[in-house]
Amino acid sequence: MPRARDEVLHARLAAEYGTPLYVYDLDDVAEAKADLFSSLPEGVDLYYALKANPHPDIVRILGEDGPGAPGCGTEISSTGELAAVLAAGLSAAGCLYTGPGKTARELDEAIRLGVRLFSTDSVTDVRRLDSVAARRGVRVETLLRVNAASASATTSIRMTGTPSQFGFDSEDLPGTLAELRADAADSGGLRAVDITGMHFFPLSNTTDEDNLVGEFRNTLAEAAELSRVHELPLRYLDIGGGFSVPYGVPGGRTRYPKLRTELEAALDVEFPHWRDGSPRIAFESGRYLAGGSGTLLATVTNVKVSRGRKFVITDAGINTFGGMSGLGRLLPVAVEPAGPGEPVERASLVGPLCTPGDVLGREIELPELAPGDLLAIPNAGAYGPTASLLMFLGRPAPTEVTVRDGAVVSASRLVHSRSPR
């Protein structure tokens, strides 16, 4: 959408719904899905990780078959995310349920609602899944998440090759499989779980295509070796993601022009029958699919100078956009740049909360601003409200509006209130 059209739309929506306000462009979501599928080998599966943004309109667009791209499956890690999948009109049968701390209660709820594919991270996790599925009288499948011993990529957020709560350490798989197979052979052991593949997630958010290709090659080689040496069945192989889009700053989605060709070559070597679905290859992505769709609109409430430093105070703080800042993944944000010839200044962009930690950007470049001005923080479609400190100080959650071709599709707000006794 052209910038001038964006500004008009944003001003209209801010006037109608107030700020802080998230605006999600569903056309961008559909475009991101098509872009990513075009970068991956034909015929593979792609799971949308709801942790990035569980808004039902976004989930629905990604789950639908569309021009140039089939629908995505859904990767979920809670019954709340499963509820969002169902609210979007999608089936629980299309979910991959992941996470290292699944409880018996949530597994029971997921299985009751129709989830049949899980990723497990420990022997305890497999046994708990088996117990719940057996009690429900159904069979389920699990992928063993693998924490590989080695890594290839040298950039981005590392998700493998170190001690972790995620996955089975690859060097321990012989003992793990022996234990699980003993369970399966024992009449009192595994009764309702079929181990049908492996799940890897080695890295996140890489802009370097060579690193991404190298990591995927490394993962495929390790998966093939583990399957061969340990006679581990591979009906499914999920090799994760790592696709990048800027977070809270201007810029476009990363392009991966060589990725499809490189992946097809690697798959042909390691899994010669993959084109026939043996194994079924899957990828997953959250931020790449949703991140570029979102703009956070905030209103300047005050501008002040303290001991020579300027502070621009807005009605959006870390309770609105900033839950990831404690992990070092947010600061600094950047607002949409000033127009050509417009003056800029350096100031700290802060929120309304009563804590010095409520900082969205420290000493960043901003247009000259005054109380009442509207700010737009781009690429805020992933890790927004649901990754923020929504309960802190009891301030209202931001409104979320979805649009297609400039028309409002829905408007909603998360509620976090307690009724007085």
Per-residue pLDDT of the chain (421 residues; tens, 9 = 90+): 556 678 999 999 999 999 999 999 999 999 999 999 999 999 999 999 999 999 999 999 999 997 778 999 999 999 999 999 999 999 999 999 999 989 999 999 999 999 999 999 999 999 999 999 999 999 999 999 998 765 554 444 445 556 467 667 777 777 788 888 776 666 556 889 999 999 998 888 888 999 999 999 999 999 999 999 988 889 999 999 999 999 999 999 999 999 999 999 999 999 999 999 999 999 999 999 999 999 999 999 999 999 999 999 999 999 999 866 544 555 678 888 777 778 899 999 999 998 888 999 999 999 999 999 999 999 999 999 988 888 788 888 999 999 999 999 999 998 765 544 5
| Interacting residues of 350 by C-beta distance below 8 A, sequence separation 6+ | 311, 312, 313, 314, 317, 358, 359, 360
Task: Please report how many Cα atoms fall inside a 13 Å half-sphere around the Cα of residue 66, on the Cβ side.
Answer: 19
Task: Cite the DSSP H helix spans in 255-405.
Answer: 259-270, 287-290
- pLDDT at residue 419 in the model: 47
248 phi-psi bin (left φ>0, alpha ψ -120 to 50, beta other) = left
- pLDDT at residue 326 in the model: 46
Any idea where the domains of the chain sit in the sequence?
A: 98-285, 292-413
> Strand 140-147 and strand 117-120: pairing?
parallel
- pLDDT at residue 392 in the model: 80
Residue 319's H or E segment, with its range, is: none
Burial of 2 (0-12, 13-18, 19+ CB in 10 A): exposed
Between 2.40.50.140, 2.40.37.10, 3.30.420.40, 1.10.3720.10, what CATH number should domain 292-413 receive?
2.40.37.10
- pLDDT at residue 188 in the model: 58
CATH 3.20.20.10 at 98-285, yes or no = yes
Taken as a whole, the chain contains a residue count of 421
Q: What is the pTM of this model?
A: 0.91
Contact 259, 213 (CB under 8 A): yes
| Interacting residues of 186 by C-beta distance below 8 A, sequence separation 6+ | none
Contact 399, 18 (CB under 8 A): yes
Contact 260, 37 (CB under 8 A): no
